[in-house]
Amino acid sequence: MSDDFPPLPILFTDETLLVINKPAGLPSLPDGYNPGVPHVRSLLKPYYGRVWIVHRLDRGTSGVLLLARSAEAHRALNLQFDQRQVTKVYHALVSGSPDWDTKTVDLPLRIDVGHKHRTAIDSIRGKAAVTHLRVLERFAGYTLVEAIPETGRTHQIRAHLAAAGYPLAADELYGSGPAGDGPPVIPRLGLHARYLTIEHPILHSILHFEAPYPEDFAQALDQLRQRDRPDCQSGPQ
């Protein structure tokens, strides 16, 4: 196990599946430019043997990550994702305060645009992409938003939130800096894959996984709540 990452938190495992709570900063797959950098599969292989990545999370995103423990399970799970039979729920800490409580962003996306390899809104060459958004909690300068993507385009949530005018906290690629003065409220991308619901590829039972907030995400929310709390005054008024 790399000294840079603690043992990966296991949310579920059986002979077919492995579900982890991926730490932020850890790539899901090998880095093509630097293959020696630790990634999810390299850290799990000594303990679980060969595993297959079913879907990916950005390096800076934490949360539920599903892996298959056989090629057959991998194919079955890929089919569920391709046919949109999987429910993914993210919690996003965004800059600003939306003027809506719920919103559906239906904007086509084109990936790998420009030298920064961004995902861009493109009504002509883009592929269909839909994300459902719901405000969970409001703070001064920030908002906690639930994001449920119907499709699975690269950087979909990041691009759709930016297009809606409320980019993720600490997302320099899509235009978000710290809100107000002082250091950023969270030191990395403000996105956490909170829930995942799938059908077990062998048993066909419905499985629901929840990834607790990592320390940095939880601390950011606590910091914002404390900052918004009015000063308490003791004694008779």
The count of other CB atoms within 10 Å of the CB of residue 141 is 16
C-alpha 157: how far from chain center: 8
Catalytic residue among 4, 14, 31, 58: 58
Question: Is 106 an active-site residue?
Answer: no
How far is 78 from 80, CA to CA, in rounded Å? Answer: 5
Query: 110, 117 in Cβ contact below 8 A?
Result: no
Query: 29, 22 in Cβ contact below 8 A?
Result: no
How far is 25 from 37, CA to CA, in rounded Å? Answer: 11
Token pair of 148 as six digits: 């449920």
Token pair of 35 as six digits: 């293959």
Token pair of 137 as six digits: 């909690």
How far is 28 from 46, CA to CA, in rounded Å? Answer: 16
Give catalytic residue positions.
58
